[in-house]
Structure 1
């Protein structure tokens, strides 16, 4: 739990959380934007690169279920510090392994990179939900907008460094230093978490963190988040490729459609909190999933690039708010927030692990643009289960 915070402390905590989300996005994009360089440096195939990426996913999936317990023991600030330092150390390991051309060293470093990212992701969302709860207004989408904005900046930096010939190992070493500094300094402005008071003799023990996996509402929220994550992830992974393959667009045009998707999502995350406060999570979640479904359909069925662009924008706008709303819903009860956010994050991350290859395999049969229609199933599932995200304090 946290002590009562003053208004200046809440503002400082909100700013620190915003920065931590942004750095997280910067780290993600700094790696993802230069994946082609990894295949070139290590001289590996696309399939072997997929195996390396699986190392990150496995590390995250191992860390996510335990992250709530870690936060409960040492607090969000210390968890972010530990996770950030682990990510920085893993980044150094990746850089040195790439410089030596060592595939095994890169794989091991990516595994620990995934563990650090998983711990970081859960702890920042718990802190964000705590700040949101105490501010009394919806701010979680803005934190996730910071992640999107950080990723956008990271991608631009990666593209720029690649263009001027700066190697990936040097790039990662600088990013590791930035992450280590941010992880050590920024969390000191988080809300202060204090240990729970000792239980009187004979009082029943609090439920174990594992009980969150048996909580029906938490699992339903997790399914909603899984659908939202797959919706967002499919756009990130396949919009550019689908535009090139299905609309005969150039690679630069495909990249622009991806940029439209990301910018629409980021803008709605920045300004969508007010709509959630006015209309409630359930109504906004349903509207979001409906917009995502319409945008997806328009993108896939459009006969020209202009309609496809409009579809990409609507798709991104619809995908923007569901994940942060799911995190807020999971953290409605502060007493169980750490465990429940950990569960919902774990369920949602399954989409990152399973979604891209499944769509890729389906795309081999039908074409990737047509294969994207499969995302309509989890979108409709999230739409139908939106009521699970209803606030415990209202709509």
Structure 2
């Protein structure tokens, strides 16, 4: 059981890190996004406001979905959507494509953040001590890495897709592989999920 929790914690920490990287890459390259799509200063606030609004919708939806679907499964599929939506922002050419990519990003971020924190809280209960701060620290580290990569892209005047594609190519498969070790909270504060099933099969 200790190994299950350890792997669950490591895989969840990577998810926090990946989300920190993705979000920082998006928000710190807003000027480049604005230039690429020709978004006016008057229209830019509407695009920016849509992301947190849709994230709120995704978060509320997650609270209902977890009654039927484990948070681990929601996180397993929302994180790839976030990363692919980020790539969509970098690869699109028309404003409607930007709108669709940001909408997908916002909704998926809401689901991801809610499910990620649910898993963190359930792991914390299983550990019997506070571990959420370590996840938030890893998220902050991811934000620093993402902002640094965004600075490199801006400094060298790299196209958005050139900045985003290598990151997605690295993080997406790693997140999918790591998702097999997510640990859901059991009904009595125990653990359940893919990692436990894998242990039983072994």
The TM-score bracket by the shorter chain reads 0.7 to 0.9
Alignment partner for residue 172 of structure 1, among 164, 179, 199? Answer: 164
Residue 111 of structure 1 and its aligned partner are, at CA, apart by: 0.6
Partner of 1:48: 43
Matched residues in 1 for 2:31 and 2:180: separation? 37
> With CA pairs under 8 Å and 6+ residues apart, which has the higher RCO, 1 or 2?
2
Alignment partner for residue 119 of structure 1, among 102, 111, 117? Answer: 111
Residue 173 of structure 1 and its aligned partner are, at CA, apart by: 2.5
Provide closer, same or farther for how the CA distance between residues 50 and 182 of structure 1 changes in structure 2, counting only shifts above 3 A. farther
TM-score with structure 2 setting the length? 0.85
Residue 84 of structure 1 and its aligned partner are, at CA, apart by: 1.3
Task: Give the gaps of 5 or more residues in structure 1.
Answer: 1-5, 197-332, 335-395
Matched residues in 1 for 2:165 and 2:47: separation? 19
Q: Give structure 1 regions of 4+ aligned residues with deviation exceeding 4 angstroms.
A: none
Partner of 1:328: none
Provide closer, same or farther for how the CA distance between residues 34 and 62 of structure 1 changes in structure 2, counting only shifts above 3 A. same
Matched residues in 1 for 2:47 and 2:78: separation? 20
Number of positions where the alignment pairs a residue of Structure 1 with one of Structure 2: 190
Residue 183 of structure 1 and its aligned partner are, at CA, apart by: 3.0
Partner of 2:135: 143
Residue pair 1:80, 1:183 contacting (<8 A) in 2 also: no
Provide closer, same or farther for how the CA distance between residues 66 and 95 of structure 1 changes in structure 2, counting only shifts above 3 A. same
Partner of 1:155: 147
CA RMSD of superposed structures (Å)? 2.1
Matched residues in 2 for 1:178 and 1:69: separation? 32
Partner of 2:122: 130
Provide closer, same or farther for how the CA distance between residues 118 and 178 of structure 1 changes in structure 2, counting only shifts above 3 A. farther
Partner of 2:65: 70
Partner of 1:15: 10
Residues 236-264 of structure 1 deviation map (CA, whole Å, 9 limit, x = unaligned): xxxxxxxxxxxxxxxxxxxxxxxxxxxxx
Matched residues in 2 for 1:95 and 1:165: separation? 13
Task: Give the gaps of 5 or more residues in structure 2.
Answer: 190-202
Residue 121 of structure 1 and its aligned partner are, at CA, apart by: 0.2
Provide closer, same or farther for how the CA distance between residues 117 and 179 of structure 1 changes in structure 2, counting only shifts above 3 A. farther
Whether 1:83 aligns to 2:75 is: no
Residue pair 1:61, 1:118 contacting (<8 A) in 2 also: yes
Residue pair 1:91, 1:173 contacting (<8 A) in 2 also: no
Residue pair 1:92, 1:172 contacting (<8 A) in 2 also: yes
Provide closer, same or farther for how the CA distance between residues 178 and 58 of structure 1 changes in structure 2, counting only shifts above 3 A. farther
Residue 42 of structure 1 and its aligned partner are, at CA, apart by: 2.0
Whether 1:109 aligns to 2:101 is: yes
Whether 1:39 aligns to 2:34 is: yes
Residue 123 of structure 1 and its aligned partner are, at CA, apart by: 0.7
Find the structure with the greater CA-based Rg: 1
Secondary structure of residue in 1 paired with 2:165:
helix
Residue pair 1:20, 1:182 contacting (<8 A) in 2 also: no
TM-score with structure 1 setting the length? 0.45
Residue pair 1:84, 1:179 contacting (<8 A) in 2 also: no
Residue 192 of structure 1 and its aligned partner are, at CA, apart by: 4.8
Residue 149 of structure 1 and its aligned partner are, at CA, apart by: 1.0
Matched residues in 1 for 2:129 and 2:41: separation? 45
